[in-house]
Structure 1
Amino acid sequence: MTLQDKLDAFKADFEAGKPPYNVPYSVIETMHRATAELIASGAAARALKAGDKAPAFTLNDPDGNPVSSRDLLAHGPLVVSFYRGVWCPYCNMELQALQETLPEFEKLGASLVAISPQTAPNSRKSVRQNNLDFPILSDTHNDVAAAFGLRFALPDYLVELYKGLKNDLPSFNGDPSWTLPMPGRFVIGHDGVILYAEVNPDYTRRPEPANMLPALRHAASAAV
């Protein structure tokens, strides 16, 4: 079963209100509205693309250790996945799929990091719950996400919905701004140029991790 098959199956159960979700249809309608508006805004088209220079970044891992993109790129290409947080089931399924593909990334000399706006304790929870062997980095205020063109502010009606669902993003993220990154995956070459970019304004749609392997193979062959 592909990652998207798993996401679609979860979405079908969630939107059908099956236990344990039992979500009213009015909630689903509000989520659909917010997603449609984000798609229509064209924000994804303004994100960084293949051929662009990737912004350099240094972010802390869950133990407070700084992780530098420049240091990682000194050893080979870099796979970066931006995700919303441990509270998002779609994101957790994507992290698990990335973990399954990690050995193939490493065979091609690549490093993998995930980036979210959440606090270190929530990143530790993500690592633990998803059995991850790659670091999750905390992007306070979504500043690195903004540099990649991914940050967006939730509309007021979605903020109110999240509050009603006890989905307290300021608490999860240690940031009162109510912003999130659009989910995005990037392959960055040794020279800092983006070789692959995929951004989803619809958070229920994610690419297969294997889609990044051709770009990594190209990077590996170019380095020979």
Structure 2
Amino acid sequence: MKKIILFIALVIVLNSDANAQKGLSVGAKAPSFSGVDQNGKKISLQALLKEHKSVVLFFYRGQWCPYCNKHIKELQESLEQLTAKDAYVIGVTPETSDNISKTINKTSAGFSIIQDKQDVIMKAYGVNFTMDNATFTKYKGYGIDLDANNGNARRTLPVPATYIIDRSGKIKFVHFDPNYQKRASVKTLLSEL
């Protein structure tokens, strides 16, 4: 019973912090970004939009998050359907490259995942929030060391948002929900592509 109460308190605290963020809206120009994925491939939104009809950009918290892993597995299982619509799928996370490897091992993700080392992409898309000390301590009690997972002491996490960006660079679809348990379904993504 004590663990259930702590879990509920944790959800409330995380949701209240994440509520401070709004994300970007449909019709907004998608901020340009670049990075290197887990395979050493240089990724640039601008270059991808020249090669593909759209980009599915999603943010996830880390390999320790069961909801993130479930969502990544669903994306991987539907990757052929997404790429058949000429979409390029990219995950963005604050976790270190070693932890990205753990995510890939857990989910079999075959699409690009970029480490947002300085939180630049998360900030540009308005999905970043900083975990407070009480929540950080609770997470540590559950065996989750955010500082070690992300390789820094900023304690930044993203709201697990998903954006579809069309060839013109405009945001065509947004799923932004501070409740980290809710994610954009593959069915919805396919209908929006």
Query: Could you say which TM-score interval applies, normalised by the shorter chain?
Result: over 0.9
Equivalent of residue 44 in structure 2, options 60, 64, 68 = 68
Q: How many equivalent residue pairs?
A: 192
CA distance in 2, matches of 1:182, 1:139: 14
Q: Identify if the C-alpha distance between structure 1 residues 36 and 132 changes in structure 2 by more than 3 Å, giving closer, same or farther.
A: closer
In structure 1, list runs of 5 or more residues that go unmatched.
Answer: 1-16, 18-22, 217-224
State the superposition RMSD in angstroms.
1.7
- Residue 87 of structure 1 is matched in structure 2 by 64
Equivalent of residue 74 in structure 2, options 89, 97, 100 = 97
8 Å Cα contact 1:185-1:198 kept in structure 2: yes
- C-alpha distance after superposition, 1:105-146 (max 9, x if no partner): 111111111111111111112112211211111011322011
In structure 2, list runs of 5 or more residues that go unmatched.
Answer: none
Give the % identical residues: 29
Report the AA paired with residue 143 of structure 1: V
State the shift of 1:103 in Å. Answer: 1.0
Report the AA paired with residue 185 of structure 2: E
8 Å Cα contact 1:30-1:158 kept in structure 2: no
Judging by fraction of residues, say which structure has more helix. Answer: 1
State the shift of 1:36 in Å. Answer: 4.2
Displaced runs of 4 or more, over 4 A: none
Report 1:111-126 matches (<5 A): 111-126=88-103
- Residue 166 of structure 2 is matched in structure 1 by 189
Larger CA Rg, structure 1 vs 2:
1
CA distance in 2, matches of 1:172, 1:36: 21
- Residue 152 of structure 1 is matched in structure 2 by 129
- Residue 59 of structure 1 is matched in structure 2 by 35
CA distance in 1, matches of 2:37, 2:91: 10
